[in-house]
Amino acid sequence: MRAAVLYKPRDIRFEEREKPSIKSPDEVLVEIRNVGICHSDVHYYVHGRIGDFVVKEPLVLGHECSGVVVEKGEAVKHLNVGDRVIIEPAAPCRTCFYCKIGRYNICENLRFMGTPPTDGAFSEYVVWPSDFVYRMPEEMSFEEGALIEPFSVALYSVRRSGLKPGNRVAILGAGTIGLMTLLAAREAGATEIYITDIIDQKLKLAEELGAKAAINAKKEDPVKTITYVTDGRGADVVFDAVGVEATFNQALKIARIGGRVVVIGLGFKEMTTSPVIDIPTKELDVFGILRYANVFPDAIRIASSKKPPLTKLITHRLDFPELVKGMEIVARGEEPAVKVMIKVR
């Protein structure tokens, strides 16, 4: 089988590898069809690391994926050969303290696709535990299936925030996760959604997806603007989908007194000058998000309704041999890209 293997920063090589085989009765072999490029893939591609996760050995990236079951272990009952499926790319140990309390996303022994040392989905075949593989609804395309992973991040973030119908929401960052959060917040009943970014094309898409106002943070102060349009009160819930010091500072200022701030983005730098005094003086609830847990099936059901138009986020469609081109499109930022979708087969 063909696999795209990262050896070092900006060094991806297409190789022929032996097709993986099922080693456990509860595993399935999936022929991969579509994989979305995530910003975490790009960070590994450009820097060779994300925080403490360092690419020390050749690694296959990719985790936003869909495909077809071509073989299954004898213990697998809920899936059949030929089923179109979506893979949840986390494989927790199921036995540690965090797994036992249902928070398997912070499992002490978690394996995650495309994160060292676990190979990901930029290959023609993947073997994965069947309990984290879900049958795709008939009305869903492989592209939509590959978008369930980032939509799950957004859905988990919205649920963890405690967002209620009628809430005013601010989202900082109109990339894939920011726009997915917009869609998830709308599904949860948010009535006013304000979103910021520095790229006009992304802001235009945000308005098409239902944002009440899309604010270019290079052209106007998002704190002043959102405070003004919310009658001086601020937003009930603020989602920081960027995760750098500037946006975190803005989030603390935009949130109303007694509001909630949800940090989804990973900016990969320590924050040193954030106005943390706002957290106690405004009695803010601040939530951190690490991927998701227990939302994948719901994300699939919501997406299958077509009400959140996930595929509108796809700005580029490329074939597998063009993977490096797709990585560079995102890395260089020379053309506005939200979601780059790779067709493997």
Task: Report the relative pairing of strands 255-263 and 285-288 from DSSP bridges.
Answer: parallel
- Residue 58 belongs to a domain with what CATH number? 3.90.180.10
**How high is the mean pLDDT of the chain?**
96
Helix (H, G, I), strand (E, B) or coil at 32: strand
Residue 123 lies in a domain: yes
Residue 299 lies in a domain: no
pLDDT of residue 216: 98
- Residue 239 belongs to a domain with what CATH number? 3.40.50.720
pLDDT of residue 333: 87
Q: Are 153 and 129 in contact (CB under 8 A)?
A: no
Residue 301 lies in a domain: no
Residue 300 lies in a domain: no
Same domain, yes or no: 135 and 168: no
Residue 66 lies in a domain: yes
Residue 296 lies in a domain: no
Q: Is the pLDDT of residue 155 over 90?
A: yes
Same domain, yes or no: 84 and 158: no
Same domain, yes or no: 75 and 100: yes
Q: Is the pLDDT of residue 73 over 80?
A: yes
Same domain, yes or no: 133 and 7: yes
Same domain, yes or no: 109 and 42: yes
Same domain, yes or no: 212 and 119: no
Of 288, 315, 334, the one marking the end of a domain is 288
Stretch 91-120: mean pLDDT, rounded? 97
Alpha helix segments (H runs only) across the chain: 39-47, 97-100, 142-146, 148-161, 176-187, 200-208, 222-229, 245-254, 278-281, 296-304, 323-332
Of 241, 257, 288, the one marking the end of a domain is 288
Same domain, yes or no: 168 and 202: yes
Same domain, yes or no: 272 and 217: yes
Same domain, yes or no: 161 and 278: yes
- Domain span at residue 87 reads 2-139+306-343
Amino acid at residue number 320: F
pLDDT of residue 268: 63
- CA–CA distance, 84 with 300 (Å, rounded to integer): 13
Q: Which helix (H) or strand (E) holds 87?
A: strand 84-87
DSSP for 284-308 reads -EEEE--S-SS-HHHHHHHHHTS-S
Helix (H, G, I), strand (E, B) or coil at 115: strand
Same domain, yes or no: 266 and 214: yes
Residue 19 lies in a domain: yes
pLDDT band at 221 (very low <50, low <70, confident <90, very high): very high
Bridge partners (DSSP) listed for residue 269: none
> First-to-last CA distance in the chain?
11
Residue 71 lies in a domain: yes
pLDDT of residue 276: 87
Same domain, yes or no: 123 and 45: yes
Dump pLDDT digits (tens) for 193-217.
Answer: 999 999 999 999 999 999 999 999 9
> Residues 6 or more apart from 116 whose CB is under 8 A from it?
53, 54, 55, 56, 57, 59
Number of compact structural domains in the chain = 2
pLDDT of residue 137: 96
pLDDT of residue 210: 96
Same domain, yes or no: 284 and 335: no
Which stretches does DSSP call E strand in 88-143?
90-91, 111-112, 125-129, 133-135
> Residues 6 or more apart from 135 whose CB is under 8 A from it?
78, 79, 83, 84, 85
Name the residue with higher pLDDT: 102 or 272.
102
